[in-house]
Amino acid sequence: MENPFVIKSYKSKELFCDREKELEILIRNFENDTDTTIVSLRRMGKTGLIYRLFDEIKIQSLDILPVYVDIYASRTIADFIKLTAEAVLRAFPQESKLGKKFMKFIKSLRPQFSFDALTGEVQLQIGYQGVAEKEHTLKELFEFLDQQNIHILLAYDEFQQIREYPEQNIEALLRTYMQTLKNVHFIFCGSKKHLMTDIFANAKKPFYSSTAFLSINKIAKENYRLFIKKMFDDNDRTITDETVDYILDWTRQHTYYTQSLCHTIFADGAKEVKIDNVKMACLEILQQNEMLYLQYRQMLTNTQWNYLIAVAKEGQVTQITAKAFLAKYDIGTPSTSKRLVNSLCEKELLSDVVTKDGTYYSVYDVFMSRWLEREF
């Protein structure tokens, strides 16, 4: 029996929870020739949303060719070009007229072809004589896509990675090439909101005010409750509202952790899922991940580790300089607290979420937070 709680990418519309409003916004933005910047915490579901959008494009037979490009592993503009070209190769059926035209274009760049030993997918290696040739190749690639008689949607995941490139003018270069395109549209996704905000909302940067922003937040509790119950019901399992609420509270409604816990509960095979079954699954997950969490302890100073424990025990902290919080966990001065927060946020062990009521901090990994809370 297939586990309906997907924890890897995207499988189908039926196994995808909600995000109807976000999906509607993405389609509306495309139809109005507006590029979109998606920002969210890691594992909140932005990549799944992109694939859900691609699925909806097929369902509605929209005149769009969607292309997903993950640039997380890129380190240079050459990597950016390579990953974009490989993604387009995967998206264009090779026997189609468009696929043949693109292959002819790629061959004009004199690449070396190889194949991934595990997936069998095509891999490219393009040689360049210098920086100018890389920039020219990027321009040619975008122009080729724009000249085809079809709308193309390029979705770049982890777009903030361009800030790591050694090329100093990469943002200006990309903006210069992208803003002239008529048939190529863009979605830029990122999990480091400070970098993404600086790229797209800083008036001094090339991409300033060039896209609409879409923030991916937690799925509404009622919607998630109905989805979880349906997944169990459709597979001849039963689960009460009280039990589902326990799941959502324990995972703090964070998409990945909710899916992962439900995945484990379903895999354990109980026909009538009760809170005791959920608690057993929670313990199973924490025990499986304990070695990883202990490795983090080796990477941090005692002060940083103790601060992480303090935040985990609080669940979330809104006043990191409050006397009560500092005294309760023997943190020291307000400046010490600020320094520790900045350091742990930089390491992505703490997350800072800005709301209308202020900023709150919590341990980034919900399971790690629950482990720290339980063990210390």
- Sign of the CA dihedral running 52, 58, 62, 65: positive
The tokens for 274 are: 């009760």
How far is it, in rounded angstroms, from Cα 146 to Cα 117? 32
User: Given a cut of 90, is residue 149 above it in pLDDT?
Assistant: no
Q: Which of 181, 177, 188 is nearest to 29 (CA)?
A: 188
Could you report the per-residue pLDDT of 33-71, keeping only the tens digit for each?
Answer: 999 999 999 999 999 999 999 999 999 998 899 999 999
Helix, strand or coil for residue 166? coil
pTM of the model: 0.93
Q: Which residues of 219-229 are buried (b: 16+ CB within 10 A; e: fewer)?
A: beeeebbebbb
Distance CA 228, CA 235 (A): 11
Distance CA 144, CA 5 (A): 40
Examine the pLDDT at 299 and tell me if it is beyond 90: yes
Residue range 87-133, pLDDT digits in tens: 999 998 878 888 899 989 988 888 787 777 777 777 888 888 788 99
